């Protein structure tokens, strides 16, 4: 019987990070604004903007911080209503609340993407901004969403925390809306433990975000942005101090050239496991949308025709063999289940999203796994399905 791989083990940080980190340890120059130029954080911003094809990048302490700063940089009035998906990480509604705005939740369908009918119904004249969360890297129909939002002149922020390397019609996710936000937390495609970055083509907006991130006094001069924009905003917006430090940037920069390989390997591994799982009549891995090229490091699938007892038996059988299956809606404290976001006043009910969360399974598939590892995970999941649906046969062997 195959052994389950350790899916929480990270890929080593490239060896070339050592030299930059040693230099920082030698000099003690850890603050991004001490060096007159070429601080690791500044270099990371230039490299990331270039890699994604956007004009400006601002590195910060997390993707949550990037989302918060995005809303602040949009200069939304207090209590502005921000439309967000009902299936996302709790960081998203939290960023909205933190920015003194009110999250309005939209239904998400069984393919983990925004339900466009509900999106159209909820997007009224009281919506000031939209955050699209490409949850677990699943891209919603950005053509339809941008057409609806552009027609109403509503800014779109892309939460691409878990979508680095995904493309839509060949264009990088995170560059479609007005602002894109990414995470460098350890479970994302690039791992610095913690960290985030936002990208945009809007000079005025990034100037505001840079100042608010903590570029106090003349530190904004170390960002390659139009000076007019800074002159306009200096001392006019508060400082939230959400900067990234040089050590994080030194860990991130050598991983950028690894991204294309990670994306390719992650997609190959995901599609291989998806094809094996889809052979079972009890499992459905929803198809991607046409214009989308995914960059997955986990797999999500729906259980078809299993009752509650069988679902419990399935996840217990998989876990007993070392594969942890998270069923989003079935743990008591899941941060991706909207009913746990009780900090939102008048939390709505979302029947479609709830139905999806109650049978959607989540399994990590880090991109560095081998073909044997992928086979082990697929076999354990398929055996667990057999065991849950035909207990007498499975136990008899």
Compute the C-alpha angle 165/5/392, nearest 5°: 115
Closest to ligand PLP by CB, 310 or 362: 362
- Structure tokens that stand for 326 in this block: 């998270």
The residue count for the chain: 397
82 forms part of the interface with ligand PLP (CB under 6 A): no
Which of 7, 24, 52, 91: binder of ligand PLP (CB under 6 A)? 91
CB of 61 to ligand PLP, least distance (A): 8
Q: Which two tokens stand for residue 311?
A: 């679902």
Distance CA 210, CA 220 (A): 7
Among 87, 89, 230, 314, binds ligand PLP (CB under 6 A): 89
By CB under 6 A, name the one of 88, 111, 175, 302 that touches ligand PLP: 88
Which residue, 358, 339, 360, is CA-closest to 350?
339
Shortest distance, position 29 Cβ to ligand PLP, whole Å? 24
298 forms part of the interface with ligand PLP (CB under 6 A): no
Q: Is 263 in the site for ligand PLP (CB under 6 A)?
A: no
Residue 94's closest CA among 146, 123, 133? Answer: 133
Among 45, 115, 159, 297, binds ligand PLP (CB under 6 A): 159
Using CB under 6 A as the binding rule, whether residue 196 contacts ligand PLP is answered as: yes
As a whole number of angstroms, the distance between CA 334 and CA 90 comes to 9
Query: Per rule CB under 6 A, is residue 105 in the interface with ligand PLP?
Result: no
Structure token pair of residue 165: 């390397």
Cβ atoms < 10 Å from Cβ of 283: 20
* Count of Cβ atoms closer than 10 Å to residue 69 Cβ: 27
| Extended strands (E) in 173-264 | 179-183, 196-200
Cβ at position 280, least distance to ligand PLP in Å: 27
Based on the shown chain and the rule CB under 6 A, indicate whether residue 251 belongs to the binding site for ligand PLP.
no
Touching ligand PLP, residues 41-70 (CB under 6 A):
62-64
Enumerate binding residues for ligand PLP (CB under 6 A).
62-64, 88-89, 91-92, 133, 135, 159, 161-162, 183, 185, 196
């Amino acid at each position: 019987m195959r052994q389950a791989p350790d899916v929480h083990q990270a890929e080593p940080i490239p060896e070339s990070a050592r030299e930059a980190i040693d230099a920082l340890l030698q000099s003690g120059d850890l603050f991004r604004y001490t060096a007159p130029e070429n601080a690791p954080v500044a270099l990371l911003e230039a490299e990331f903007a270039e890699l994604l094809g956007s004009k400006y990048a601002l590195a910060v302490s997390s993707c949550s911080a990037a989302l918060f700063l995005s809303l602040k940089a949009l200069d939304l009035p207090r209590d502005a209503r921000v439309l967000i998906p009902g299936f996302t990480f709790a960081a998203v509604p939290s960023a909205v609340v933190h920015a003194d705005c009110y999250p309005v939740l939209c239904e998400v369908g069984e393919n983990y993407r925004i339900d466009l009918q509900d999106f159209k119904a909820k997007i009224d004249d009281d919506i000031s901004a939209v955050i699209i969360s490409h949850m677990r890297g699943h891209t919603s129909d950005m053509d339809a969403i941008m057409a609806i939002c552009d027609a109403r002149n509503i800014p779109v922020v892309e939460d691409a925390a878990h979508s680095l390397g995904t493309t839509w019609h060949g264009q990088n996710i995170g560059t479609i809306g007005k602002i894109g936000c990414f995470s460098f937390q350890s479970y994302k495609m690039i791992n610095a433990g913690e960290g985030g970055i936002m990208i945009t083509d809007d000079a005025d907006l990034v100037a505001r975000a840079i100042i608010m991130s903590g570029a106090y006094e003349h530190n904004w001069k170390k960002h390659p942005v139009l000076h007019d924009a800074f002159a306009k905003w200096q001392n006019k917006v508060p400082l939230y101090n959400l900067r990234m430090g040089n050590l994080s940037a030194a860990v991130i920069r050598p991983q950028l050239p690894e991204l294309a390989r990670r994306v390719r390997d992650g997609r190959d591994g995901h599609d291989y496991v998806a094809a094996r799982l889809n052979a079972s009549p009890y499992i459905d891995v929803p198809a991607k949308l046409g214009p989308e090229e995914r960059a997955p490091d986990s797999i999500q699938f729906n259980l078809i025709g299993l009752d509650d007892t069988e679902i419990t038996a399935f996840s217990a059988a998989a876990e007993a063999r070392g594969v942890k299956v998270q069923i989003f809606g079935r743990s008591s404290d899941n941060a991706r289940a909207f009913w746990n976001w009780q900090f939102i006043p008048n939390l709505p009910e979302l029947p479609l999203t709830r139905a999806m969360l109650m049978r959607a399974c989540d399994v990590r598939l880090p991109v560095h796994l081998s073909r044997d590892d992928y086979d082990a995970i697929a076999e354990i999941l398929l055996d667990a399905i057999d065991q849950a649906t035909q207990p007498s046969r499975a136990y008899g062997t």
